[in-house]
Amino acid sequence: MDDLQIIELYFDRNERAIKETDRKYGRLCFQVAKNLLWNREDSEECVNDTYLALWNQIPPTRPNNFTAFICKITRNLSLKKLESAYALKRSADILSLSEFEALLPDYSLAPDIGDQELGEQISAFLRSEKELDRNVFLRRYWFFDSISQIAKRYSLGENTVKSMLFRTRYKLREFLKKEGFEV
């Protein structure tokens, strides 16, 4: 079933919408959650919360890009769950959030700029990058895939992935500086 049909099911308030969403996006959502939470139960709970959020948001929202829409909900819910001390303690060693810290750690820097605007700037930067570099970056920092997962997915060496990420991070940092962000 394609995305438009699934969305129509939501609009019809048909419970089959959840079933079809799970069939098509269940694995993807679970992977996004699992990469962040590193816990099966928490991840499954996050996926279920995603379906609930979808049920509540559609209608009135009619997403243009259902894949991105659902992934964003899962990621957002997973990050919120991660903020709980218990989850952070468990995953701090696994996640490379420290890789981000050097870039823009918290709201003490560029406090006047909203996340939305920062997201737009990052989008502009990523669009200027090569397709492979961009997707390696997104797989790591958006989907939180491990280095080995990315290397396997794109048939690259782990060292190649690491150096690509380092290069893109450096370029993003320079880009944000140029755009007036104090990083």
Partner 1 sequence: MNIPRIATALNHIDDELVSGAVEYKRKKKSPWKKWVALAACLCLVSSLFAPHLYMKQYVQKNHIVEHNSSDMEYVTVLPEYADEWEAAYRIHGILSQQEYPWYGNCRFDFDSETIMVGLTEVTDSNKQAVLAHTADTPVAFYQCEYSYQYLQQLYNKLEGKRAELSFLGVAWFAVSATKNRVCVCIDNPKNYLAICAASMLDSQGGAIEFITGEAVYLIE
Q: Is residue 81 involved in binding partner 1 (CB under 8 A)? A: no
Nearer to partner 1, 48 or 160 (CB): 160
How many residues belong to the site for partner 1 (CB under 8 A)?
47
Interatomic CA distance for residues 17 and 109, integer angstroms: 42
Alpha-carbon distance values, 91 to 81, 82, 84 (Å):
11, 8, 11
Closest by CA to 172, choosing from 124, 107, 109, 135, is 124
Q: Is residue 103 near partner 1 by the rule CB under 8 A? A: yes
> Are 121 and 179 a contacting pair, CB within 8 Å?
yes
Q: Does 1 bind partner 1 (CB under 8 A)?
A: no
Tokens of 16: 């089959």
Task: Kindly state whether residue 4 participates in binding partner 1, applying the rule CB under 8 A.
Answer: no
**Span near partner 1 by CB under 8 A; candidates 9-17, 41-49, 80-88, 159-167:** 80-88
Rg (CA), the chain: 18
Residues that bind partner 1 (CB under 8 A): 28, 63-65, 67-69, 71-72, 75-76, 79, 82-83, 88, 92, 97, 100-101, 103-107, 109, 115-116, 118-120, 122-123, 126-127, 131-132, 134-135, 138-139, 141-143, 153-156
